[in-house]
């Protein structure tokens, strides 16, 4: 029997870690902070909802679908919004605001889709969890616990091998370090950016597809989790992919585990129910970002890299 709090923490932290990693990936290659990252997670969640609840299929079938769909939508964002802006001389701030606009569009679309599911399939598509559709492995453990950990490990391992062992991966690293030099060395940096956007959208949606199997989700998830994703990336230093994952994981650990434990200790002291204190976990991302920027502006990975 594993403590449910630990299961919650591991699932949430893995999802957040992958999302922060995805955010860092496109930030490194195109320098644009993607405010649509939260909606990509939500997209994955609705893929799972569609597959498992509306179509009554195995919920894990949604993983590859969410990955491909998330990647495709990210490419639409890159080719349809960001690339036209940057070729017309749009600044990074313009592009950043454009990601916010794109996220609102996508968010509206998903909300409309949620209402469509409500009416056509007669299911509740907001404020629901799909935990009951997950496989029970016994001992209070459900499949999503293992799948989230394995998915995170698999993505990280494949990304590591891709970046270090393949030519294309090496050219991604070159583009991150110095895009114009990489171009001069014959590297197609536009291809590199295309790949990074696809992978980023894909990974975020795949991670988001696991969320409904453990937690209650609603379209508002897109923006409530966005802060945590950014906090994770900042904590990771915004200059290292694996730092992004670790940052996201730590952020998730603080939000779920530390805050819950803390609320149990604090409750008798200040005379407020632990559930009330737990509501304040949304403050954690803000505190983390502020603390990181004050104490270690380069994040956890910046602490040991001395130049």
Partner 1 sequence: MGLASVSSGKILFEGDDITKLPPYKRSRKGLVYVAQTDNVFKTLTVEENFKLSSYDLSEDEYKERIEIVFTLFSQIKDILKRKVYQLSGGQRQMVAVSLALLRKPKILLLDEPTAQLAPKVANEIFKKIIEIRDLTEVGIVLVEQNAKKALEIADNAYLFTSGRVLFKGKPSELLSNPELGRIFLGLGV
Site for partner 1 in 143-172 (CB under 8 A): 167, 170-171
Structure tokens at 266: 């604090």
Among 65, 174, 266, 300, binds partner 1 (CB under 8 A): 174
Among 4, 79, 140, 190, binds partner 1 (CB under 8 A): 190
Cβ proximity to partner 1, 49 vs 197, nearer residue? 197
Alpha helices in 62-188 (DSSP H): 62-77, 83-87, 92-120, 143-165, 167-177, 179-184
Cβ proximity to partner 1, 13 vs 86, nearer residue? 86
DSSP, residue by residue, 222-242: HHHHHHHHHHHHHHTTSS-HH
CB 221 within 8 A of CB 42: yes
Q: Judged by CB under 8 A, does residue 96 bind partner 1?
A: no
Among 138, 184, 268, 295, binds partner 1 (CB under 8 A): 184
Structure tokens at 174: 């070159």
Backbone φ and ψ of 19, nearest 5° = -70, -40
d(CA 292, CA 294): 5
Give the interface segment with partner 1, choosing from 22-30, 122-130, 186-194, 265-273 (CB under 8 A).
186-194
State the nearest-atom distance from the C-beta of 250 to partner 1, in Å: 24
Residue 122 backbone zone (phi > 0: left; psi -120 to 50: alpha; other: beta): left
Q: Judged by CB under 8 A, does residue 128 bind partner 1?
A: no
State the nearest-atom distance from the C-beta of 71 to partner 1, in Å: 23
Among 68, 183, 194, 242, binds partner 1 (CB under 8 A): 183
Could you list the residues that contact partner 1 (CB under 8 A)? 167, 170-171, 174, 177-178, 180-190, 307
């Amino acid at each position: 029997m594993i403590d449910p709090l630990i299961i919650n923490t591991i699932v949430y932290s893995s999802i957040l870690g992958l999302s922060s990693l995805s955010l860092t990936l496109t930030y490194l290659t195109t320098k644009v902070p993607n405010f649509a990252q939260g909606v990509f997670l939500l997209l994955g969640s609705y893929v799972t909802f569609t597959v498992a609840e509306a179509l009554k299929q195995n919920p894990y079938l949604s993983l590859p679908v969410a990955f491909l769909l998330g990647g495709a939508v990210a490419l639409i964002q890159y080719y349809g919004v960001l690339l036209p802006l940057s070729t017309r001389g749009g600044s990074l701030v313009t592009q950043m605001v454009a990601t916010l606009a794109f996220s609102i569009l996508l968010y509206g679309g998903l909300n409309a889709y949620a209402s469509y599911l409500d009416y056509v399939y007669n299911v509740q598509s907001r404020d629901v969890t799909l935990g009951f559709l997950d496989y029970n492995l016994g001992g209070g453990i459900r499949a999503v616990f293992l799948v989230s950990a394995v998915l995170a490990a698999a993505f990280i391992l494949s990304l590591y091998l891709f970046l270090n062992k393949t030519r294309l991966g090496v050219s991604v690293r070159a583009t991150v370090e110095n895009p114009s030099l990489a171009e001069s060395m014959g590297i197609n940096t536009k291809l590199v950016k295309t790949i990074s956007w696809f992978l980023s959208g894909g990974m975020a949606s795949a991670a988001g597809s696991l969320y409904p199997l453990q937690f209650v989700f609603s379209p508002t998830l897109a923006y409530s989790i966005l802060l945590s994703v950014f906090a994770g990336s900042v904590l990771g230093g915004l200059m290292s992919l694996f730092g992004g994952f670790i940052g996201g994981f730590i952020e998730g650990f603080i939000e779920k585990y530390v805050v819950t434990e803390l609320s149990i200790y604090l409750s008798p002291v200040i005379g407020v129910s632990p559930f009330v204190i737990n509501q304040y976990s949304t403050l954690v991302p803000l505190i983390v970002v502020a603390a990181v920027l004050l104490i270690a502006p380069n994040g956890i990975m910046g602490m040991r890299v001395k130049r």
